[in-house]
Amino acid sequence: MQSKTRDKVVITGIGIVNPAGVGKEEFWDNITTGKSAIRSISRFDATGFPTQVAGEIVNFQPADFIPRRFIVKTDRFTHYALAAAELALKDANLDLEQEDSYRVGVWFGNNAGGWDICERGFYELYNDGPTMVNPWQATAWFPTAAQGYVTIRYGIRGYSKSFVCDRASGASGLHFGVKSILQGHNDIVLAGGSEAPITRFGMTCYYETGEVSAATDPETAYQPFDRDRSGMVLGEGSTVLILESEQHATARGAKVYGEVISSCMTTDSDPTKGTHFERCIRRAIADANLTSADIDVVLPEGCGTQASDRVEAQALQAVFGEQAPDVPVTVPKSFYGHLYGASCVTEVACSLLSMETGKLPTMQKISHLDPECQLNFVTQSSDSQVDFTLVNSRAREGVNASFVIGRG
Amino acid sequence: MVIDALKDILLDLGIPEESITDTALLRKDLQLDSTETVDISLGLKRRLGVNVKLESRKDMTLAEVCDMIDKAMAATPS
């Protein structure tokens, strides 16, 4: 295989399908002005369910983005991915028919697969019998379906992968998608992921992890780093970023939002400790040839469980030292819910939009700051020059990812 | 009636209405894949209560499919 070494991966397109907005403009307007999309579940009657709130997308019509024959064969999480991919390609002004299809890859994360079609399949099996299950059950539920249908739709044939890695699924897609360009396999990568767990069965299964909030008030259900935080609130949606080698982006005169300057992944074999999380953050900053003093804003994992937030705050405090009380930290997912497969890439999109607009993403207000999480949280709309951000992601069992994003 | 049921199933699959004609071939003209063909069989079973297998090697027109359905319905005890 042809192998060329390149040194820079830039981001030239952003596609967002999110509870806080479909399209980057609506999303960013809501995130910078503190409008939460966490609401009481309306997708199904949640009476009697242990989870009552979620970040739901309520104004999305698949047919606005996707050919009808694709809609019928795929689950909601693939609809979101196909729509986000289309938005990202348009935003990047990129016509893939003009590109070498063997040099374009799709690197996605997804944790849960397609619960919507699973529930339909179970219903068909138990009510109508084994010969009446829909013919898409086997392919549409599968976590790689989003990658598969994006590649089919655009005729993409380059090096591609999907990752199932809990809350770090999206981060894994981004990390290895960047590598696929740096190692010379691809010129262009659609990096991101998708998730759609808001179904009766999906929400029930996630609740069984013990990490999802049982709070009923949408205003206070998701409060990362608050002393009284009660766990995660789930969201749904997809974010797709167009990554390109700098050489490729320059050659076609693309608008560059920013650069993935460095990325690092480590694993804590004991997830109650953050030894290697701290090492991950330090390495990402060092690999960017920066110091912690250069980081303008941190977008942490901030999943909202008691244990995980404490571990992350300690890691950040260790890395940032005396600056820890000053560096802005913000958890925009507190407005749209944890997106698992689309997590991390959505916060990378927030980093790029911060750089472009000079506005910081805000987060749900903190009623009582956890004394063990003394950081400078951005709970009010504010303007700031942003040149470098740190974006973290961490899976339940201790897989860590850190990225430094710059202007490029 | 049979053609109406078949047409509804094809429309649900996202097949454009203008391409649904008596002479349209399932694979060559409508570009149906194997899963879509299976879904037509399931739809006919649900709507008309007949078992019609469409996964043969030979491509069929919609008129030929309707004939198959008519024969299957005639052979099904009511």
A98-145 tens-digit pLDDT: 999 999 999 999 999 999 999 999 999 999 999 999 999 999 999 999
Assess if residue A4 is contained within a domain.
Answer: no
Over residues B38-51, the mean pLDDT reads 95
Cα–Cα distance, A329 to A217 (Å, whole number): 24
* Total of domains in chain A: 2
CATH classification at residue A71: 3.40.47.10
Give, rounded to a whole angstrom, the gap between the first and last alpha carbons of chain B: 17
Residue A119 C-alpha, separation from nearest chain B C-alpha, in angstroms: 18
- Tokens representing B60 are 């069929």
Residue A312 C-alpha, separation from nearest chain B C-alpha, in angstroms: 46
* Total of domains in chain B: 1
Place of tokens 């981004």: A174
Cα–Cα distance, A61 to A76 (Å, whole number): 11
Taken as a whole, chain B contains a residue count of: 78
Based on the domain organization, do A358 and A286 belong to the same domain? yes
* Residue (of A332, A271, A280, A272) closest to A175 by Cα position: A280
CB A366 within 8 A of CB A225: yes
Based on the domain organization, do A106 and A246 belong to the same domain? yes
pLDDT per position as a tens digit, A136-184: 999 999 999 999 999 999 999 999 999 999 999 999 999 999 999 999 9
Mutation pick from B35, B50, B53 vs chain A, by most beta carbons of A within 10 Å, is B35
Over residues A269-278, the mean pLDDT reads 97
Of A201, A219, A251, which residue constitutes the final position of a domain?
Answer: A251
What is the DSSP-derived secondary structure letter of residue A399? E
CB A117 within 8 A of CB A141: yes
- pLDDT of the residue at B55: 81
Based on the domain organization, do A297 and A328 belong to the same domain? yes
Based on the domain organization, do A95 and A190 belong to the same domain? yes
Assess if residue A3 is contained within a domain.
Answer: no
Radius of gyration of chain B (CA): 12
Residue A195 Cα to chain centre, angstroms: 9
Give the 3-state DSSP-derived string for A155-171, with helices as H, strands as E and coil as C.
CCCCCCEEECCHHHHHH
What percent of chain B lies above the pLDDT cut of 70?
Answer: 99
Residue of B nearest to A131 (CA): B42
- pLDDT of the residue at A125: 98
pLDDT per position as a tens digit, A54-101: 999 998 999 999 999 999 999 999 999 999 999 999 999 999 999 999
Assess if residue A256 is contained within a domain.
Answer: no
Based on the domain organization, do A381 and A238 belong to the same domain? no
DSSP string, A291-341: -GGG--EEE------HHHHHHHHHHHHHHHGGGTTTSEE--THHHH-B-GG
Assess if residue A37 is contained within a domain.
Answer: yes
Residue B14 C-alpha, separation from nearest chain A C-alpha, in angstroms: 5
pLDDT at B77 over 90: no
Based on the domain organization, do A315 and A207 belong to the same domain? no
Confidence tier at A341 by pLDDT (50, 70, 90): very high
Based on the domain organization, do A346 and A204 belong to the same domain? no
Based on the domain organization, do A220 and A137 belong to the same domain? yes
Q: Kindly state the helix (H) or strand (E) to which residue B27 belongs, with its residue range.
A: none
Over residues B40-53, the mean pLDDT reads 94
Residue of A nearest to B44 (CA): A132
Based on the domain organization, do A210 and A318 belong to the same domain? no
pLDDT per position as a tens digit, A220-265: 999 999 999 999 999 999 999 999 999 999 999 999 999 999 999 9
- pLDDT of the residue at A408: 81
Confidence tier at B1 by pLDDT (50, 70, 90): confident
Looking at chain A from residue 49 to 68, which residues have their Cβ under 8 Å from any Cβ of chain B?
A: 67-68
CATH classification at residue B29: 1.10.1200.10
Boundaries of domain holding A352:
261-406
Confidence tier at B49 by pLDDT (50, 70, 90): very high
- pLDDT of the residue at A247: 97
Radius of gyration of chain A (CA): 20
Chain B CB contacts of A73 below 8 Å: 35-36
Based on the domain organization, do A338 and A213 belong to the same domain? no
Cα–Cα distance, A250 to A16 (Å, whole number): 24
Mutation pick from B42, B48, B51, B54 vs chain A, by most beta carbons of A within 10 Å, is B42
Looking at chain A from residue 128 to 187, which residues have their Cβ under 8 Å from any Cβ of chain B?
A: 128, 131-132, 134-136, 139
Confidence tier at A4 by pLDDT (50, 70, 90): very low
Cα–Cα distance, A24 to A12 (Å, whole number): 13
- pLDDT of the residue at B78: 62
pLDDT per position as a tens digit, A342-377: 999 999 999 999 999 999 999 999 999 999 999 999
- pLDDT of the residue at B56: 78
Based on the domain organization, do A375 and A241 belong to the same domain? no
pTM: 0.96
Confidence tier at A3 by pLDDT (50, 70, 90): very low
Residue of B nearest to A139 (CA): B35
pLDDT at A5 over 70: no
Q: Which of B12, B15, B35 sits opposite A135 (nearest CB)?
A: B35
Chain A CB contacts of B34 below 8 Å: 135
In A185-305, which residue ranges form alpha helices assigned H by DSSP? Answer: 200-207, 246-251, 275-287
- Say yes or no: ipTM exceeds 0.95: no
Of A251, A273, A305, which residue constitutes the final position of a domain?
Answer: A251
Residue of A nearest to B34 (CA): A135
Strand partners, A403: A263, A391
Of A251, A282, A313, which residue constitutes the final position of a domain?
Answer: A251
Based on the domain organization, do A239 and A278 belong to the same domain? no
Residue of A nearest to B37 (CA): A135
Boundaries of domain holding B35:
2-75
Cα–Cα distance, A21 to A62 (Å, whole number): 14
